[in-house]
Structure 1
Amino acid sequence: MKVEARIFDLVMGFSFLMAVVYGFWTWGAAPHGLEPVGTVALALTGGLALISGTYFRFVARRIEVRPEDNSDAEVSDGAGELGFFSPGSYWPVGLAAAAATAGVALAFWHVWLLVIAVVLLLVAVGGLVFEYHTGPNHD
């Protein structure tokens, strides 16, 4: 996770630096002074990268060192099971369709379709999350 934290730190530093450069550049070039939209967008991009990098840094402290974080690691150190991935789930297809419907609803600003898409998104996310949930064991 340290690698990911460094990547987001670089994005954060670049975004904040470009926000300052962009602010000074537009201050001198624009007839009405500072152009606020680009400056704020770059500053918010840096803030989002700061939040993500901080999260990865905190997670890196709590988990054991991964092969990606070890400079002396071999390729074989990363071998083994990485997690459980459902091979025959149809929920991701439904989730993609619901997200596409929400995107179309936002693009054409059909509020009725947006409400339907949000409900479909919630159902699809719930189905995906609880697909293998069997409930408490009452033996």
Structure 2
Amino acid sequence: MKVAANIFWIIGLFFIAAGLLYGFWVEWTEWAGIPAILAVGAMSWMIAWYLQATDKKFGLGPSDDEDGEITDYAGTYGTFAPWSWWPLGLGLACAIIVTGLAVGWWVFIIGVVAAAYFTFGWVYEFSRGKYAH
């Protein structure tokens, strides 16, 4: 994971530099590309930070072993609820949000409220009811 984290640090640095250079190139008049490029750099740095934090917690992973095999990745990666309807509702709420950007702010606000509801439901679905633990 150390190599992957370093790669994402470098990618983030590249996109931040490219975003700043692009901003100077267009004299800070174009406000669609500049924030998008800077956001890609920031997201790359977020991934790099996560990989570094995970590496400190778990140590060497299968990808860090030069003699590692594909089968070393086998195992459980998390707890997933195949019966859950929360992701479907969240997807529909996101569709309402995007539709609200084109139709009107009142539709956008309805989508944001619905997205908050479905996000909380999905996050806390294992904290209550039959499957609580």
Q: 1:3 to 1:87 in 2, by over 3 A?
A: farther
Which residue number in structure 2 is paired with residue 69 of structure 1? Answer: 64
- The alignment yields a C-alpha RMSD, in angstroms, of 2.6
What letter corresponds to residue 97 of structure 2 in structure 1? A
TM-score (norm 2): 0.74
Greater relative CO, 1 or 2 (CA 8 Å, sep 6+) = 1
Structure 1 CA distance for aligned equivalents of residues 3 and 89 of structure 2: 33
> TM-score scaled by structure 1?
0.71
Find the counterpart in structure 1 of residue 13 from structure 2: 13
Structure 1: 4+ residue segments shifted above 6 A: none
Larger radius of gyration between Structure 1 and Structure 2? 1
Decide whether aligned partners of structure 1 residues 75 and 102 sit closer, same or farther in structure 2, where only a CA change above 3 A counts.
Answer: same
Q: Post-superposition shift, 1:66?
A: 1.9
- What amino acid maps onto 2:47 in structure 1? S
- Report the number of matched residues: 126
Per the alignment, residue 132 of structure 1 pairs with: 126
Counting aligned pairs with the same residue, the percent is 33
